[in-house]
Amino acid sequence: MSPLITTAELAGLLDGPLDSRPTVLDVRWRLAGPPGVESFRAGHIPSAVFADLDTALAAPPGEGGRHPLPEPAALQEALRLAGVDEGRLVVAYDDADSSVAARAWWLLRWAGHAEVAVLDGGFAAWEAEGRPVTTEEEVPSPGNIVVRPGGMPVLNADEAAELARDGVLLDARAPERYAGETEPVDPRAGHIPGARNAPFSAHSGADGHWHAPEVLAQHFASLGVGATTPVGAYCGSGVTASSVVLALEIAGHPAPASLYTGSWSHWSRDPERPAATGHEPG
């Protein structure tokens, strides 16, 4: 199925028969600022359930990084509480660039749930089109999803380092963080030697909609990604890099890209691991 769904398609499904309506996850989140749940309570897509990145879509921060993969049992419990059923479509959205929605998409795919899509344009597009918004918080019936880890490829630190030399490892952070000019969050500045900068902001336009497949394909080709190129992605904590994986799928890349789930927040914790600086891979 397509990894994206339009606002019109989602609206049609929500107006359709009850047994065929998707589960909608509101995953709004900000690195700094008010919690996303406050935005959810101020207004959200009808029937949407809030899923918190920090507590539902990630394990607690620690040695594994700032947003490590949740334990399968914990993820299964969180998804069931959100009403996620086996075989039922899940639609995720946020109110920014869809990178957090991409994390939800990736995590569900990793968990073995293929029926998942990101709302193209997110909440901003939904609201701009005058579609219904509610402050009512529904309590969904418990879902029956079974989390089966391994549906998407992951990298550990050593594998990421190897891929940076033998394939293409894409760093989804902003250029200034990639170059080591600033590091507001993690222990050290810089990037994994050999990694190429591919800011996640390049995946969508000013209106929040994802670029067309051919535009994304050209973008990744300029970064050295070919049809048979082993490719992986990382970012600060494994969240925005999920949008690289999603963008590659939209672009028609034949195999899912691997995700270094610990990302720079994991890599930079170990002083023995090298850090390159500057705007070249190093």
Q: What is the pLDDT of residue 33?
A: 78
Q: Does position 18 have pLDDT exceeding 90, yes or no?
A: no
Write down the H helix ranges in 144-262.
157-166, 175-178, 213-222, 241-250
Residue appearing with tokens 């380092």 = 161
Q: How far is CA 271 from CA 52, 97, 187, 266, in A?
A: 31, 32, 9, 11
Whether the CB-CB separation of 257 and 245 falls below 8 Å is answered with yes
Whether 96 and 104 have beta carbons less than 8 Å apart is answered as no
Question: Can you name the CATH fold of 154-268?
Answer: Oxidized Rhodanese; domain 1 (3.40.250)
Higher pLDDT, 31 or 156: 156
Residue 19 has pLDDT above 90, yes or no: no
Report the alpha-carbon distance of residue 233 to residue 244 in Å, rounded: 7
What's residue 25's pLDDT?
Answer: 98
Tell me, yes or no, if the two domains 4-129 and 154-268 fold the same way. yes
- Fold for 4-129, please state it: Oxidized Rhodanese; domain 1 (3.40.250)
Interval 127-160: pLDDT, tens:
999 999 999 998 999 999 999 999 999 999 999 9
Listed by start position, the domains of the chain span 4-129, 154-268
Averaged pLDDT, 74-95: 98
Predicted pLDDT at 258: 98
Residue 1, pLDDT score: 82
- Give the model's pLDDT for residue 187: 93
The catalytic site residues sit at: 235
Pull the structure tokens for residue 28: 């709004």
Residues 24 and 48 sit within 8 Å (Cβ to Cβ) = yes
- Separation in Å, CA 243 to CA 36, 118, 201, 234, 257: 19, 10, 9, 10, 11
Residue 239 pLDDT > 90: yes
pLDDT tens-place string over residues 101-126: 999 999 999 999 999 999 999 999 99
Q: What residue type is assigned to position 214 of the chain?
A: E
Give φ, ψ of 138 to 5 degrees: -80, 145
Rounded to two decimals, the pTM is 0.97
pLDDT, mean of residues 189-203: 97
Closest CA to 241 of 167, 180, 173: 173
- How far apart are alpha carbons 178 and 172 in whole angstroms? 8
Task: Provide the token pair at 194.
Answer: 């050999």
In the numeric block, which tokens belong to residue 24? 């909608």
